[in-house]
């Protein structure tokens, strides 16, 4: 069967999107290739036309999802969006409740720490880029001070989102988000 030009790229993109949502929703270890391919409407054998291994898929998903997050940060800078708005958006109940479409860092960071070095290196590069973009949004301090603030803010945001998702008490979850917003904004505004 002949496919239209671009079909292979579209199929690869579809597999990436399905895997990305499943990894964020359920965790990398809990998601099998058969489940990804089934949801994508493809056979298991078709996977190897696009990826050499599940680990390659994980790296590609991380690179893609973090590149999308990076693009949002760039758009925020271009639009003059203050860091406070970025913090509030990230630490929102909407983001907390949409794990499968949310930040891959908050959803997967604990698992990434256990993956092979090439996967962790790909993750590290994208996180460094995001920290750099967040530092650009901070108004006060030298470049080094803004970078340190960005690391503290991003760490606060990711950790708070993970905690808010993990607790079973909705009121406590909301409180975690609210307090983290205030803390992250205070760090950003320190002179």
Domain of 39?
7-189
- Res 8: pLDDT: 86
- Residue 2 domain flag: no
CATH number of the domain where residue 31 is located: 1.10.357.10
Mean pLDDT of 77-98: 95
Total-model pTM: 0.90
Residue 1 scores a pLDDT above 90 = no
- Residue 1 domain flag: no
What is the tally of structural domains in the chain? 1
- Residue 153 domain flag: yes
Longest Cα pair distance anywhere in the chain, in angstroms? 64
Mean pLDDT of 126-134: 96
* DSSP at 116: -
Q: Where are the beta strands (DSSP E) in 25-116?
A: none
How far apart CA 119 and CA 40 sit, in angstroms, is 23
């Amino acid at each position: 069967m002949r496919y239209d030009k671009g079909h292979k790229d579209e199929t690869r993109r579809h597999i990436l999107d399905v895997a990305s949502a499943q990894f964020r929703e359920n965790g990398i270890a809990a998601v099998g290739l058969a489940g990804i391919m089934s949801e994508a409407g493809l056979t298991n054998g078709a996977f190897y036309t696009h990826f050499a291994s599940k680990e390659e898929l994980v790296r590609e998903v991380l690179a893609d999802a973090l590149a999308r997050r990076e693009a949002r940060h760039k758009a925020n800078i271009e639009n003059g969006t203050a860091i406070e708005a970025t913090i509030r958006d990230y630490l929102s109940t909407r983001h907390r409740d949409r794990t499968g479409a949310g930040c891959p860092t908050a959803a997967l960071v604990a698992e990434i720490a256990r993956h092979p070095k090439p996967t962790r290196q790909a993750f590290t590069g994208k996180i460094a880029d995001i920290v750099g973009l967040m530092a650009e949004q901070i108004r006060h301090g030298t470049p080094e001070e803004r970078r340190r603030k960005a690391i503290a803010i991003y760490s606060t945001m990711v950790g708070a989102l993970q905690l808010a998702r993990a607790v079973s008490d909705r009121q406590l979850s909301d409180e975690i988000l609210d307090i983290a917003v205030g803390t992250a904004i205070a760090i950003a505004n320190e002179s």
